Amino acid sequence: MNAFIKNCLKIAGISILLGLFLLLISFSMDNTVFSNWENFNITLGNNNNHSGRWSDSDKEEAWDDWDNEKAKEEEPDGLVLDNADGKLTEVEAEDKSSHNEDSFKDVKSLALDISYGTVSINEGEDFDIHVDNIGSDNYYSTVKNGVWKIGDNGENNNSEFSIFGVKISDSAIHPFNAANIELTIPEDFVFENLDIKLGAGTIKAERLTSKKADIDVGAGSLHIEELSASENSSYSIDTGELVIENINAQDANINCGVGNLTASGVIIGDSLVTCGIGNVSLDINGNENDYNYNVDCGIGTVIINDNSYSGVNSKHKTNNNAKNSFDLDCGIGKIALEIHE
């Protein structure tokens, strides 16, 4: 064995020992790892949680509960808006679509806050909500002061473990409680305020109309077929994706971090588009001369129809004495603006 191989083996051995040493230090500095092991339990059946040895009676009772749960699968429970106070409650399958219209009579705005899961928003005759694959303790739906608030308690209910002091939610590793939510909005209903916050889930909407809109996408995916915001609107994308097939907005504020935003339609007024590392693609109906442009580009690229601006600290202004304007600020990513009739 030559000296080179010996030295490589020594370095590998030292690296392994150093890694084990640092791992032991991380455990000793943060006891949340050990507290999670102490709280470890096994659930079998409906009300049987055990962390130790199972007796024969425990096993029989657990299997009985398991058989009962399997028998109920043909008629699963769901979550709908309660008739009394507008909160989600468990009901039998045949009653899933029932709700009291008085619970929705004061709805003026929608506030949707989802950490993870799948949400579909469709048009119908009345307001309605249907939730599957989650317990009522983990989700809420209330109507208060004209605001219909819907969301999950994922951030509060998830257990965590820590590595080198960095806390990690177990839902990020195995989000087995991700829910399926179906919302129904009356056709042609106009919200005063539309507030959507999406973490790591997926939202698909048919048509949303509001005076003001505030949309925030984390690592998830939000797809809207048609969105109208008559007064002003803001759109923030972290690492996720926002797609709006047909937009009609005024005074839009778009902020894209690492993710992607794609929108087609009409945007008028004074709009700001900021892009970090991600990509923004806007396909606007109109005339290029109906807008003023202010371009500030770092090392990324800004494209306005046939004109491309790139390079370090590239700046450009176009004043068409127009009523509308686009302020485009791009860091490392790309902003593509197409305006055509």
Residue-wise pLDDT tens digits, 263-317:
999 999 999 999 999 999 999 999 999 999 999 999 999 999 999 998 777 899 9
pLDDT at 198 over 60: yes
Asked if residues 228 and 208 have their Cβ atoms less than 8 Å apart, the reply is: yes
The token pair at 317 is 């202004």
Say if residues 275 and 260 touch (Cβ distance below 8 Å). no
Residue 213 has a pLDDT of 98
Q: How far is CA 103 from the centre of its chain?
A: 26
Closest-CA residue to 265 (of 226, 294, 304):
226
Asked if residues 203 and 219 have their Cβ atoms less than 8 Å apart, the reply is: no
Instruction: Sketch out the chain's domains with CATH numbers.
Output: 106-340 (2.160.20)
20 CA to centre of own chain: 37
Mean pLDDT of the chain: 79
Distance (Å, rounded) from C-alpha 156 to C-alpha 32?
A: 16
Which pLDDT band, with edges at 50, 70 and 90, does 190 fall under? very high
Tens digit of each residue's pLDDT (9 = 90 or more) over 1-29? 566 666 667 777 788 887 777 776 665 55
CA-wise closest residue to 112 among 190, 192, 200, 194: 194
H-helix or E-strand spanning residue 35:
helix 32-38
| pLDDT for the residue 1 | 55
- Give the C-alpha separation, 274 to 248, whole Å: 19
pLDDT digits (tens, 9 = 90+) for 323-332: 999 999 999 9
* pLDDT for 138 beyond 90: no
Q: pTM of the prediction?
A: 0.68
Distance (Å, whole) CA 139 – CA 132: 11
Tokens for 146? 């004209």
List the one residue out of 43, 69, 46, 48 whose CA is nearest residue 58.
48
